[in-house]
Structure 1
Amino acid sequence: MSETFSFDTLFKYSQAVTPYLEGRLKPTKVPSDSTEYSVEVINSQSNEQLPLLDSLPSITYGVPCSSDIKVLYDSIATVSPEAKQAYWLTRTWGLLCWQPLYLSFISIYACHGLPKIKDMTQDLREQFIAGYQFNDEEVRVDERNELIQVATTELHLLFDFYREEIGEWARIRPGFTNHLFADAILGCIVQFQQFQPEIQNSYFLEQAETWILAAGLPQNSLQGLTVNPETNKLHLVRTSCCLVYKCTGRKLCSDCPKLPENREMKVALKVT
């Protein structure tokens, strides 16, 4: 483990971003002959006892999980039958990818290192994915751009694995998931600015380009990340639509490409 990287710090910052991003390290193995000992997972922030690991369904790279992801997909379909298959699949994909991507950003920018993102375990909950476990305490410490390159490589491997698992029961194209990947990266950049508002816009725009290039994703997605002249803050217009507006009572998101003002902004950018 790195002398400068702390998992406790990573878990602390993760919880500051969202309480759903609750992490842990893989617990010590219990001796096979122990009959009175039970493994308890302790929240590093509150010291509250959490459910036993074995009681939560989970997904880990390289471990067949197609049926588990299908259960998640079906639970989304059950609560939003009116939204149809495209939304169910988009939502499922977003849930699979959000924690690894958030943790990559937090690790690199706040903790100055990178654990083994690809090999993390994610906890499956009904209609959601929240909670994660690092199964190895190995951490890489390097220059930021090098860490970004490693992170995007690991994320691609992880997301390719998820796509293959989903592919057993649904058609999911790489082009579709790559657009979602690019949008998610840019969304993280916008959130990053919210935590560091004193940093100039140019820095965040540079970081966005670094991530997109490192990931080998469509560079035209960068056109959707601009500076709002009224707020002097970043504004994102996604390339893809999450389709949440198809759910009863939901509306278009503020960064949706279907939103009229965002359409007008894209037209204006093309003219200029």
Structure 2
Amino acid sequence: MGLSTLHFEKLFLHARQITPYLDGCLEETTTFNEPPPSLSPESIERLYNEIAERNPEAGQPYWLTRTWDLLCWQPVFVSFVAIYAQRALPDVSTISQNKQNCFIAGFSFRDHEWTHARRATLIKKAGQQLSHLFETYRDAINQWGRIRPGFTHHLLADHLLNCLVRLQEIRPSYSNNTILRHAQLWLEAFDLPQKHISNLKIDSTTNKLKLVRTSCCLVYKCEGRSLCANCPRLEANKLTNLITAKEVTA
């Protein structure tokens, strides 16, 4: 077993500890077989249609938002796990994802060498690789629909900041200032505006960071569902006792 294989085995273990849905494996390879295809425009369209059929009352904006969130959640989480648990990074642009009915869960890689570097360097590299991957997803959707870059950028910024809040929950030793510095690095890596950092608030109860999203996932439009805890539409998130973290550390 090579060193890269050991890195992948550790990655899969750490990922499953976050959620069983992050179930990774290495693809079996020979000199004769081809790598499995990434999510095709047809498979992404099927995912979108399945979501629409399950939640017809929610409407097209929800169907598209849900589709995009599902496409991106695993690659981002895998990048965070690799960088913060192993201080290294596989080529996340080569990730293969498993489409299930109305969901995407499970992923795989072909064995390859990892990049070892400082976390700031790895974050920049992850941004480059994931930007390329997400652009292929956006191009795929544009073959049968329409998805604007501005729309996906808001969702991505929220996803990155939410992962950092989760990171602080898992590693309480990470101070608010540390998380804010890393938020700057992640936003820079994707060429996203630094203004998104203002969505990180100090929770007056816990004194830890809390995210109030820029975008709404629109799940409340589904029958029987309500607003998420970090939704910008939620009245509690509009109260002034949630102080902007950037203001506190200025």
Specify if TM > 0.5.
Answer: yes
Q: 1:259-270 residue pairs with structure 2 within 5 A? A: 259-265=234-240
CA separation of 1:3/1:25 partners in 2, compared to 1, >3 Å: closer, same or farther? closer
Residue 15, structure 1, aligned to residue 16, structure 2: yes
C-alpha distance in 1, partners of 2:175/2:144? 45
**Over residues 37-71 of structure 1, what are the superposed CA-to-partner deviations in whole Å (9 max), with x where a residue is unaligned?**
xxxxxxxxxxxxxxxxx9xxx752xx7x1111011
Question: SS at the partner of 1:226?
Answer: strand
Question: SS at the partner of 1:82?
Answer: coil
Residue ranges of structure 1 left out of the alignment (5+ in a row): 33-53
Question: SS at the partner of 1:170?
Answer: coil
Cross-structure match for 1:25 = 26
CA separation of 1:11/1:25 partners in 2, compared to 1, >3 Å: closer, same or farther? same
Counterpart of 1:171 (choices 142, 146, 153) is 146
C-alpha distance in 1, partners of 2:158/2:94? 23
Counterpart of 2:56 (choices 78, 81, 106) is 81
TM normalised by structure 1 equals 0.84
What amino acid is aligned across from residue 22 of structure 2 in structure 1? L
Cross-structure match for 1:181 = 156
Please report how far the alpha carbon of residue 136 of structure 1 lies from its aligned counterpart in structure 2 after TM superposition: 3.5
Residue 107, structure 1, aligned to residue 108, structure 2: no
The aligned length equals 243
Please report how far the alpha carbon of residue 198 of structure 1 lies from its aligned counterpart in structure 2 after TM superposition: 2.7
Please report how far the alpha carbon of residue 30 of structure 1 lies from its aligned counterpart in structure 2 after TM superposition: 8.7
Please report how far the alpha carbon of residue 111 of structure 1 lies from its aligned counterpart in structure 2 after TM superposition: 1.1
C-alpha distance in 2, partners of 1:70/1:193? 35
C-alpha distance in 1, partners of 2:31/2:5? 29
Q: 1:129-168 residue pairs with structure 2 within 5 A? A: 129-168=104-143
C-alpha distance in 1, partners of 2:51/2:199? 29
C-alpha distance in 2, partners of 1:179/1:123? 25
CA separation of 1:144/1:222 partners in 2, compared to 1, >3 Å: closer, same or farther? same
Residue ranges of structure 2 left out of the alignment (5+ in a row): none
C-alpha distance in 2, partners of 1:177/1:167? 13
Cross-structure match for 1:35 = none
C-alpha distance in 1, partners of 2:74/2:123? 16
Q: How much identity, in percent, do the aligned residues show?
A: 44
Please report how far the alpha carbon of residue 3 of structure 1 lies from its aligned counterpart in structure 2 after TM superposition: 6.8
Comparing 22-31 with 234-243, which one deviates more in the overlay?
22-31
Please report how far the alpha carbon of residue 162 of structure 1 lies from its aligned counterpart in structure 2 after TM superposition: 0.1
C-alpha distance in 2, partners of 1:2/1:178? 35
CA separation of 1:76/1:148 partners in 2, compared to 1, >3 Å: closer, same or farther? same
Please report how far the alpha carbon of residue 265 of structure 1 lies from its aligned counterpart in structure 2 after TM superposition: 3.9
CA RMSD of aligned residues (A): 2.2
Question: SS at the partner of 1:130?
Answer: strand
Question: SS at the partner of 2:58?
Answer: helix
C-alpha distance in 2, partners of 1:5/1:29? 19
**Over residues 54-97 of structure 1, what are the superposed CA-to-partner deviations in whole Å (9 max), with x where a residue is unaligned?**
9xxx752xx7x111101101111111000000000000000000
Counterpart of 2:67 (choices 92, 105, 116) is 92
Large movers: runs of 4+ above 6 Å: none
CA separation of 1:59/1:267 partners in 2, compared to 1, >3 Å: closer, same or farther? farther
Contact 1:2 1:140 in 2 (8 A): no
Contact 1:22 1:132 in 2 (8 A): yes
CA separation of 1:244/1:59 partners in 2, compared to 1, >3 Å: closer, same or farther? farther
Residue 219, structure 1, aligned to residue 190, structure 2: no
What amino acid is aligned across from residue 259 of structure 1 in structure 2? L
Cross-structure match for 1:68 = 43
